[in-house]
Structure 1
Amino acid sequence: MSLLTDVVTVSRRNLIAVPVLLTGAAVSVALGMAGIHYWPGTQPLPTWGFSAPQIFKAYLSSAVGVLIIGQLLTAVWIYRFHAPKPVRIFHRLSGALAFLLSLPVAFYCLYSFGFQVGQGATSTRVMAHSIAGVVFYGAFASKMLTLRLKRTPGWLLPILGATVFTSFVLAWTLAAFWWFRTVGFAR
């Protein structure tokens, strides 16, 4: 009887993951739809001292990348080794800063280029970058929701954290790294 009780408990706990994952999917789809239907825009965007918006995005997203690597390292420390309170505080503050710094990059991407998939995509690289970008924000929304909910399955937070990290690294590689490799480090 105990095994049956354990199976039912695990199943109920796993059910909590469904609305969390659906929320992330809804955020991703909403961003993609907005990027297809409302953008790209026609007005030029400020470059904030850089010579082009692409350079601004490449440098700012690289700063976010450094913060996200810090997020990964502190998350592993917290999750596996019960890190002290200052590490947890640093993890939260650097995560908030990474998210805030990513917003102008995402806006510039969506506003300047839109969400490019299918026949409308200028290249496979751009299409993969578009998908990785919206997946990043969807996974981030799910991860934040998971942190606030009680009794979520133990596997959910690490999976969502890994998805946030991987989708950002993929988006950065397909845009900023590509830009630095192709154009260089000019300002």
Structure 2
Amino acid sequence: MSADRETAPVRRPNATAVAAIAIPILIGAAVSVLLGVYAKTHEPMGYSVNIAGFANPQAVKAWLATVAILLAMCQLVSALAIYGKLPVDAPSWIGTAHVWTGRLAVLVSVPVAVHCLYAFGFEQYDTRVLLHSLLGCFCYGAFVAKMLLLTRKGLPGWVIPVAGGLVLAVLTGIWLTSSLWFFQHNGLTF
């Protein structure tokens, strides 16, 4: 690099901006750790609530998680539309659809998470199950962090998309290590 080349000044974020991002991330991390500690230290009950019409609780979990991942995909498409990343103009209702698909995704994921926490706890008897347990705990921490970040003003434009993408990636990992595995071993069973 030549000495005569001008260098751009280094922009340092101010302490308020760093705190606006760091505090929600730390709270989300605490949620993840607390869920993991609870799941590991409580005695698994081996049972959960079942929904009429399904063969067993595992089928209920697999289908509810599938609905959650489909709703999360709707979240991705609606977010792309909101941010102007699709080749079509976003309809006026897309923001509302984005909010409600997110709410519904969380709503259908809660019985799955409760079943995992109470019936099984934190398991690690093979790599798939360990990864599923870790992702399950991390998912709700990432979700809490994203929700808290949404309440902050003046964040850099990349923060919310990264947080949403992280939640989607984790939810996808959970689905791959549970529902997909279930369907591969049991077929599309109800």
TM-score, structure 2 length as denominator?
A: 0.87
Larger radius of gyration: 2
Query: The residue matched to 1:80 in structure 2 has which SS?
Result: coil
Query: Which residue number corresponds to residue 89 of structure 1?
Result: 96
Higher alpha-carbon deviation: 107-116 or 174-183: 107-116
Q: 1:39 to 1:152 in 2, by over 3 A?
A: farther
Q: How does 1:7-46 map to 2 (within 5 A)?
A: 7-8=11-12, 10-12=13-15, 13-46=17-50
Does the aligned pair in 1 maintain the 2:82–2:90 contact within 8 Å? yes
- Maintained 8 Å contact 1:39/1:110: no
Structure 2 stretches of 5 or more lacking a match?
1-7
The code of the aligned residue for 2:69 comes to G
Count of residues paired in the alignment? 179
**What does the per-residue CA deviation read over 1:109-141, in whole Å, with 9 as the maximum and x for residues that have no partner?**
11111112xxxx121100101111111111111
Q: Where do residues 36-75 of structure 1 align in structure 2 (5 Å cutoff)?
A: 36-75=40-79
Matching residue's letter, 1:128? L
Q: Which of 93, 102, 105 is the matching residue for 2:109?
A: 102
Q: Which amino acid aligns with 1:96?
A: R
Instruction: Calculate the TM-score normalised by the size of structure 1.
Output: 0.88
Would the alpha carbon gap of residues 41 and 150 (structure 1) be closer, same or farther in structure 2, given more than 3 Å must change? same
Aligned AA (1:95) = G
Show CA shifts across 1:140-178 (max 9, x none). Answer: 111111111112232221111111000000000100000
Task: Give the whole-Å Cα distance in 1 for the aligned partners of 2:84 and 2:122.
Answer: 37
Which secondary structure state, in structure 2, belongs to the residue aligned with residue 16 of structure 1?
Answer: helix
C-alpha distance in structure 2 between counterparts of 1:35 and 1:49, whole Å:
28
Q: Per-residue deviation at 1:85?
A: 3.3
* Separation in 2, partners of 1:125, 1:69: 23
Residue 48 of structure 1: how far off its partner (Å):
3.0
Higher helix proportion: 1
Contact 1:35 1:115 in 2 (8 A): yes
Of 128, 134, 138, 1:135 maps to: 138
CA offsets 1:43-95 (integer angstroms, 9 cap, x no match): 55324321110001001111111101000110111123583430000000111
Task: Provide the C-alpha distance between the structure 1 equivalents of 2:46 and 2:131, rounded to a whole number of angstroms.
Answer: 23
| Partner secondary structure for residue 83 of structure 2 | helix
CA distance in 1, matches of 2:20, 2:157: 11
Q: Which runs of 5+ in 1 are unaligned?
A: none
CA contact (8 A) 2:50 2:60 kept: no
**2:176 pairs with 1:169:** no
The whole-number CA distance in structure 2 between the counterparts of 1:150 and 1:39 is: 42
Give the superposed CA RMSD: 1.9
Asked if 1 retains the 8 angstrom alpha-carbon contact of 2:47 and 2:118, the reply is no
- Which residue pairs with 2:125 in the alignment? 122
